[in-house]
């Protein structure tokens, strides 16, 4: 979603899905339609 702004809390929750719950990056990105690049940047 180009230009979409996400809150810090939202970003943290998404990163925790990857780092703590061991979900895949593409899987986490697919759910709320975030780009994989954004997740790596967070």
Over residues 14-25, the pLDDT tens digits come to 999 999 999 999
Q: Exposed (0-12), middle (13-18) or buried (19+): which is 11, by Cβ within 10 Å?
A: middle
Banded model confidence at residue 2, pLDDT cuts 50, 70, 90: low
Residue 26 maps to a domain: yes
According to the model, what pLDDT value does residue 36 have? 92
According to the model, what pLDDT value does residue 1 have? 47
| Number of independent structural domains in the chain | 1
CA distance linking residue 24 with residue 21, whole number of Å: 9
Distances (CA, A) of 26 to 17, 31: 11, 9
Residue 21 maps to a domain: yes
Banded model confidence at residue 5, pLDDT cuts 50, 70, 90: confident
Any idea of the CA torsion for 9, 13, 18, 21, to the nearest 10 degrees? 150
Residue 24 maps to a domain: yes
Residue 36 maps to a domain: yes
Domain that holds residue 22: 16-41
Whether the full predicted model's pTM is greater than 0.85, yes or no, is: no
Mean pLDDT of 11-40: 92
């Amino acid at each position: 979603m180009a230009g979409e702004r996400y809150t810090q809390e939202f970003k943290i929750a998404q990163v925790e899905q990857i780092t703590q719950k061991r979900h895949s990056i593409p899987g986490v990105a697919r759910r709320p339609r975030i780009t994989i690049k954004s997740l790596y940047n967070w």
